[in-house]
Structure 1
Amino acid sequence: MAGLTYTMLDTANLSTAELYGKVLCDMGEIHPEIVGLSADLAKSTKIGLFGSKFPHRFFNAGIAEQNMFGMAAGMAKAGLVPFVSTFAIFTSMRGLDQVHTDICYQNLNVKMIATHAGLSFGQAGSTHHCTEDLSIMRAMANCKVIVPADGIETANAVQAAYETPGPVYIRINRGFDQKLYENTEYGYKIGKAVELAEGTDLTIIACGSCVYQAVEAAKILNSTDGIKARVINMHTIKPIDSEAILKAIRETRRIITVEDHNVIGGLGSAVAEVVAGSGMTCAFKMLGIPDTFSIIGLHEDLMAHYKIDTNGILENVRELMGKDFEEDENWDDEV
């Protein structure tokens, strides 16, 4: 399993889901209005930690995701703050009618923690891969969409979600997450990207599990190719940080997006919309899952297959560096 630098004993501490469960427990002590809901996946999604600590504030709807989201909507109407957790594939698809009409349409204060997202549950098969949820959820009016890069950022995202009124969709992995941040004090804010590496030759914009891969690729590009790659952690897909994207266009003129998601409708599409709307040109490429149902395998192997790991990013950056763009700085003729 290429790229793994830790053992099975470390995965609980590294898992975004594990940290989410612990943070929710801490928040539950301070905020009695927080309740938890699960669709018979409390152990897998780690919201069971909250259920063990606050059994009278935790509700298992069973294998009935639609009912669970309907229950959450009713609780929110009554003044509670429901944190609803199930697999991303079930949140964004099986329960979508209730997410759309009961929660987002009414702009209710429900927080949806979607685990096992992207290809992170790779060995479970294509039916459990979730590579369409970003396109689905960012199309839901009133809903904010967040993709934390590691466990520390998940802790920040959960806290920020509580402090932000309205529906919030937080997309996290199954586990085996590389550690990116040392602590929570780096200025996290919903809708504000984080620059992890400076660069003037090219900008890599990534989210989720691909952020660590992008940082590693930038280090190699600097040391072996002399390429200065800027790395932006676009942890919020909606609202997207347009300012960071426009700054990258002006200062690097080359952008590559990397996501553990279908190339249609996700991070790459959101960035492309900003680029197109700006009237400015740049060399641009989107990395992700092509328009196909993904193959089956371990997460790191699937990332390598679809070239969204460090080596895949290196290959595509080197190719993109060979593409031309208009050299002049007069943007008026490009509108």
Structure 2
Amino acid sequence: MQLLYPEIKPFARHDLAVEAPHVLYVDESGQEDGLPVVFIHGGPGGGCDNLSRRFFDPSIYRIITFDQRGAGRSTPHASLENNTTAALIEDMEALRIHLGIDKWVLFGGSWGSTLALAYAQAHPDRVLGMILRGIFLCRDEDIHWFYQEGASRIFPDYWENYQALIPEAERDDMVAAYYRRLTGDDEICQMHAARAWSGWEGCCATLRPSAQLVDRFTESRRALAMARIECHYFINQSFLEPDQLLRNMPKIAHIPGIIVHGRYDMVCPLDNAHALHQRWPGSELQIIRDAGHAASEPGIADALVRATQSMARQLLKLAPEAE
């Protein structure tokens, strides 16, 4: 198994003011003149952490991580104001220009794969390549599978905890029921809803149960941002047109891509990656046989590190021993 790269400290940090009231947290690590790669976190609302930098060889890559609107260390925390997919695409362009980057590699997982595809389709001439994990196409059936019926039949015990917060009369639309609580005025109710929403995702994200991951997902500050922003997006069809990402694949079919997806991903089932690969014949699809959804799972992490090495070789014409 390929280990993650050691932890490194950023060489630069930025506060990027975008559309009011949002200010994005950004940092850079690795080589100042290296191959630019932007880490696009999941959720939406998940934020970046020290792990985000460890998929990339710091002697080759200029590693950019940023927290999307309302997420992580960006401010205001958990804000839904002016928070849409189109706005996040604009933020990425503003960040690219701010950092003086002509073209970059996109690295995104789960919602990060969604945003990477949407950005690339809007700005195909700014993308060198893409490494995408745990593909999430944000179709109605994808939301229904995880938040209404589907995964509930695989994890009925975890689902019981998720639906316990919602009265039976409201359970025909769980996203709407949670949205009312996550955007209501009762802060205690809001936090209970946030921890239940995020806890459900954390429990289902790995093939083998991970108490550490569940604890991370249910930490109060992270849970509030992720639950509020995810629910805001999903009740609004992720601010995408029906089938938008697949329909627009011809715009980016020429861009090299590596898709990594767990065989037993219960958050974003494998049909997401399979459908994307069919519309992107030049892409490489790697199905990880002993993994679920999380980037922290050994098989997924190994494949992602190897993918960043492969992408660097392809784009920089490096010899194999450069790994």
TM-score scaled by length of structure 1: 0.29
